[in-house]
Amino acid sequence: MMKLNKQLVSLVLILTLLSFMIGGCGGKQVETPKDTAKEAKVVELKLHHHDPPTSAFAAAMEQWAKLVGEKTDGRVKVTVYPAATLGPANTAYDMVVNGVADIAWSFVGLYPGRFPMTDLVGMPMMGIDSAEMGSKILWELYSSTDYLKKEYADVHVITLHTHTATPIGLNKKKVATAADMKGLKLRSPGGGPMLLLKELGASPMTMAPGEIYQAMERGVVDGYTIDWQGVNAFKLTEVSKYVVDTNLYVGPFFVVMNKKVWDGLSPEDQKAIDSISGEYAATLLAKAFDSAKPVAEKALKDKGFELYELSGEETARWMELGKSIAEKYAEEQEAKGLPAKAALAKIRELIAKYSK
C-alpha cells in the first residue's frame, strides 16, 4: 500500500511539472511551428507601370506601395515594376485580368474605344487646368454614379486619376493659330485630343511615350502632346524648341487590381488598402503630376527654348471646337446605348464645382 501511494505521489508531481512547462510562468500558450508559419505568411503583389523609375509619378507609386505594407502591418508587400518591365503599356489592363501582374497603372488613351465613358473626361479643351482637379472630377464621377463602373467590371479598381493639363511641344515651327497647325505631324493619344488636332489641320498619330524623343530627333514627328510629367520623364525638354502652354486635355489613368487576388485578401487587409485607395490615391498621384510643370519650365528656360500661351481669342476658338467634339462624341456613344450625354453633363457640373 505504501509503495502504491509513493507511485501516485510521483505521478502527480510529474503531471504538475509537465503542466508548468507547457503553460509557462505567465500561462501563455506556446506557439507551434504551424502557428508561426501561418503568422509569417506574406502576400506578395506585383505592380506594373510604364513610367521610368526616375519620374515623379514613379516616386509617388513607390510611396503608395510602401503605404500598403505599413497599413497591413507587413502582411501585404507590393513590389513595383517600372518602365514596362512586365509588358507594353497598352497591355497593362489585360495583364491584370490574366494574372501576369497583380496591380497595374496605365493610360486610358492607349486603349482606343475600350473605355468610351472614361474617355469623356479626356475630351479636349474642357477647362480642367490641373491633375488634382481632373482627378477629383474623375474619381467622383466613378464613385458617385454608375456611368463608368461597367468598364472596370472585370477588375478591382484601386483608383482613377488624370494627368495635369497638356502642352504641345514642337521642334520646327512656332504655332500661334489653327492655320499654323496645318500639316504638322503630331504625336497624340487617341480619342478627343486626336480629333481636335485633326480639326485644327494637323496630322496626328499614336505613339508610345518612350518613342517620342527619338521620333522628334529624326523628324518622324514635328511635335507631340503629352502631359508635363511625361515631358520630364521622357526628357522631351531637350527636343522641344517651342512649347505651347495650353490646357489641351487631361488624360485619365487607371490603377486596377486582379479581382481574384483582391478577393483572396483578408477583410482586414482589404479595409487597410481601401483606406489609401480611391480619392486618397488619386490625390497622391495627381500631386506628382502637378509638380512636374515648374521642373519642365526651368529645363526649357535653361535650354533657351520658348514656352508661351495662345491668345485669348485663339484659346476661345479651340474651346469651341473642343465643346463640339465632346458633344458629337457623346451623341455617337448614345447611339451605342451608353448614357454619354448625361455623363458629359455631370462632368461639366463637376468642372464648375471644382473651378470655384
Task: Answer whether residue 215 shows pLDDT above 50.
Answer: yes
**4: pLDDT strictly greater than 70:** no
Q: Which residues contact 257 (CB under 8 A, 6 or more apart)?
A: 45, 96, 102, 103, 155, 156, 157, 158
pLDDT digits (tens, 9 = 90+) for 45-65: 999 999 999 999 999 999 999
Instruction: Identify whether 302 is part of a domain.
Output: yes
Question: Residue 344: what are its φ and ψ, rounded to 5°?
Answer: -65, -40
| Residue 32 dihedral angles phi and psi, to the nearest 5° | -85, 160
Confidence at residue 209, expressed as pLDDT on a 0 to 100 scale: 86
Does residue 103 sit in the same domain as residue 224? no
pLDDT at 39: 58
Residue 15 lies in a domain: no
Q: Does the predicted TM-score (pTM) go above 0.75?
A: yes
- In eight-state DSSP terms, residue 224 is E
Q: Is the pLDDT of residue 99 over 70?
A: yes
Tell me, yes or no, whether 159 and 286 share the same domain: yes
Task: Quote the CA–CA distance of 163 and 331 in Å, as a whole number.
Answer: 26
- Please report the pLDDT score of residue 356 as a whole number: 75
Whether 163 has a pLDDT exceeding 50, the answer reads: yes
| Contact yes or no for 158/178 (Cβ under 8 A) | no
Residue 268 sits in the same domain as residue 146: yes
Task: Lowest mean pLDDT of 6-10, 164-168, 261-265, 294-298, name the range.
Answer: 6-10
Closest listed residue to residue 121, CA positions, set 206, 205, 194, 191: 191
Going by pLDDT thresholds of 50, 70 and 90, the confidence category of residue 40 is low
pLDDT of 123: 97
Record the cell numbers describing residue 175, joined without a space: 504655332
Place of cell 448614345: 334
Query: What per-residue confidence (pLDDT) applies to 315?
Result: 96
Query: What per-residue confidence (pLDDT) applies to 338?
Result: 98
How much is the average pLDDT of 215-241?
96
Residues 169 and 185 sit within 8 Å (Cβ to Cβ): no
At 156 the pLDDT is: 99
Q: Is 14 within the bounds of a domain? A: no
End-to-end alpha-carbon separation of the chain, Å? 98
CB distance 210 to 224 below 8 Å: no
pLDDT for res 1: 47
pLDDT at residue 33 above 80?
Answer: no
**Overall domain count for the chain:** 2
Pairing of strands 203-205, 168-170: unpaired
Q: Is the pLDDT of residue 146 over 70?
A: yes
Domain of 94, in residue numbers: 42-165+252-290
Mean pLDDT for 180-207 is: 94
Q: Looking at the structure, do residues 243 and 272 belong to the same domain, yes or no?
A: no
Q: Say if residue 147 is in the same domain as residue 271.
A: yes
Residue 305 lies in a domain: yes
Query: Do 140 and 179 sit in the same domain of this protein?
Result: no
